[in-house]
């Protein structure tokens, strides 16, 4: 498929200047880029550090970088130089969004703060900042990484097995959740701009997003006063909702109401369980969840895991086997939903947002550092000699500075 044959995408025509590094910001801008936005990834002289977060690597870039930077063009720029800051202002002419995750105060020290500079120069510009904790308050200005914020926002305390040590989630969901929230925020600001004609500043923090995702633990605590603890794979508010052993493999089953529970009991061959006084309603089942798990497993241990999953799914009950990463990547439904995509050497997760008219697309593989520096500057009207002068002065770069 040629560039001309790719669908334009829902965000075609939108230009995003992306100063973010690591995960949250790049994950956000990849979502926008997948749907047609022009994303110019501006990297500092040393590059986005996750290019080095491997192995594995492809052609010198780590998988960590490769996974969140497709459909973008890369340019190296030294914002510590006055000429670099002047060039950034030139790049912002006609841009819809500036997104960055520098430490709060950095842009302001460079004379690039939203209130002091950008708002006046570019009234329609949307400036999104992602930081650990924001610029003010008791934690204001402090750095934040995913696991640190997971710990501070309570995630460690509710993750893991009952009685076990506090445990980090195996997915960087604080970073990625903040990226998702930031994408939503940018789209909201774009929508509002259609009415007002004005941009605005968006203050996104890992901490805020992590706290907002602590559902239902925070609301459970606020209503009960009981501090939530880890429950392993079981749900805090619903039973049965857990992993269960079968004759062949472990599976996960969830029954969200009494009707579903009764159907589950019927499918595993013992309808009388639904009439047991310990298991009449969800609140009863939660009180007696250990007994319920033992009763269910005593029956499931006589049944093939794949067979019972298929039977439950056909009966309209959520159930599934526990797969490893390789099984997920190659699963027939993953392939059917185009959630494994391949382009030349690049093999990655697909695009989860499925539009009927304006689908997203994988148009470009993740860029090498500074691969588009000359091209981007040419797009902005700089001559070859002007670009070369900036390269010679180290203002813009095509290769990483060691």
Cα separation, 357 vs 359, in Å, equals 6
Is the pLDDT assigned to residue 113 strictly greater than 60? Answer: yes
What is the mean pLDDT of the segment spanning 242-259?
95
- The fold of the 3-213+336-397 domain, in CATH, is Rossmann fold (3.40.50)
Is the pLDDT assigned to residue 1 strictly greater than 60? Answer: no
Q: Which of 302, 133, 273 lies closest to 203 in space, CA to CA?
A: 133
130-177 per-position pLDDT tens digit: 999 999 999 999 999 999 999 999 999 999 998 999 999 999 999 999
What is the mean pLDDT of the segment spanning 177-185?
98
Phi, psi at residue 203, to the nearest 5°?
-105, 95
Give the pLDDT score at 25. 98
So what's the architecture of 251-321 in CATH? 2-Layer Sandwich (3.30)
Q: Which of 341, 397, 335, 396 lies closest to 364 in space, CA to CA?
A: 341
Is the pLDDT assigned to residue 3 strictly greater than 60? Answer: no
Cα distance from N-terminal residue to C-terminal residue, the chain: 37
pTM: 0.93
Give the pLDDT score at 258. 96
Query: 170: cis peptide before it, omega within 30°?
Result: no
- How far from chain centre, in Å, is Cα 247? 36
Give the pLDDT score at 337. 97
37-55 per-position pLDDT tens digit: 999 999 999 999 999 999 9
Indicate the pLDDT class of residue 246, thresholds 50, 70 and 90.
very high
Cα separation, 237 vs 90, in Å, equals 53
286-328 per-position pLDDT tens digit: 999 999 999 999 999 999 999 999 999 999 999 999 999 999 9
Mean pLDDT of the chain: 96
Bridge partners (DSSP) of residue 396 are: 77
What is the mean pLDDT of the segment spanning 166-192?
97
Give the pLDDT score at 172. 97
Give the pLDDT score at 5. 76
Per-domain residue ranges for the chain? Answer: 3-213+336-397, 251-321
Cα separation, 177 vs 219, in Å, equals 19
Give the pLDDT score at 2. 46
The answer to whether 374 touches 388, Cβ cutoff 8 Å, is no
Give the pLDDT score at 4. 56
Give the pLDDT score at 281. 96
Is the pLDDT assigned to residue 238 strictly greater than 70? Answer: yes
Enzyme catalytic residues: 175
6-38 per-position pLDDT tens digit: 888 999 999 999 999 999 999 999 999 999 999
202-214 per-position pLDDT tens digit: 999 999 999 999 9
The answer to whether 253 touches 242, Cβ cutoff 8 Å, is yes
Structure tokens given for 102? 């520098």
Cα separation, 283 vs 170, in Å, equals 30
Give the pLDDT score at 7. 83
């Amino acid at each position: 498929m040629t560039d001309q044959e790719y669908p334009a995408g829902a965000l075609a025509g939108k230009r995003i200047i992306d100063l973010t590094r690591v995960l949250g910001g790049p994950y956000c801008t990849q979502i926008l880029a997948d749907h047609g936005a022009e994303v110019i990834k501006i990297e500092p002289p040393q590059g986005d550090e996750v290019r080095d977060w491997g192995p594995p690597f492809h052609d010198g870039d780590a998988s960590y970088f490769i996974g969140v930077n497709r459909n973008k063009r890369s340019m190296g720029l030294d914002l510590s130089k006055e000429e670099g800051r002047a060039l950034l202002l030139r790049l912002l002419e006609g841009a819809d969004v500036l997104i960055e995750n520098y430490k709060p105060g950095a842009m302001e020290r460079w004379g690039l703060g939203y209130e002091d500079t950008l708002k006046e120069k570019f009234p329609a510009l949307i400036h999104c900042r992602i930081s650990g904790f924001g610029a003010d308050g008791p934690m204001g200005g402090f750095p934040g990484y995913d696991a640190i914020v997971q710990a501070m926002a309570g995630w460690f305390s509710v993750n893991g097995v009952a009685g076990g040590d506090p445990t980090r989630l195996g997915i960087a969901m604080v970073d990625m959740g903040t990226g998702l929230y930031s994408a939503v925020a940018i789209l909201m600001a774009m929508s509002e701009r259609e009415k007002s004609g004005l941009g605005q500043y968006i203050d996104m923090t890992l901490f805020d997003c992590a706290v907002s995702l602590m559902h239902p633990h925070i609301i459970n605590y606020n209503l009960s006063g009981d501090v939530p603890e880890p429950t392993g794979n079981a749900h805090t508010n619903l039973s049965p909702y857990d992993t269960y052993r079968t004759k062949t493999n472990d599976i996960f089953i969830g029954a969200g109401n009494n009707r579903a529970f009764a159907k589950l009991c019927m499918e595993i061959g013992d309808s009388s369980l639904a009439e047991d006084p310990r298991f009449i309603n969800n609140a009863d089942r939660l009180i007696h969840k250990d007994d319920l798990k033992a009763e269910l497993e005593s029956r499931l241990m006589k049944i093939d895991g794949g067979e019972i999953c298929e039977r439950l799914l056909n009966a309209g009950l959520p159930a599934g086997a526990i797969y490893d990463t390789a099984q997920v990547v190659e699963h027939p439904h993953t392939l059917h939903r185009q959630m494994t995509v391949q382009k030349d050497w690049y093999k990655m997760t697909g695009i989860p947002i499925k539009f009927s008219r304006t689908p997203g697309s994988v148009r470009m593989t993740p860029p090498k550092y500074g691969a588009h520096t000359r091209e981007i500057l040419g797009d902005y009207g700089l001559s070859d000699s002007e670009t070369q002068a900036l390269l010679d002065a180290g203002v813009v770069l095509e290769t990483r500075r060691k």
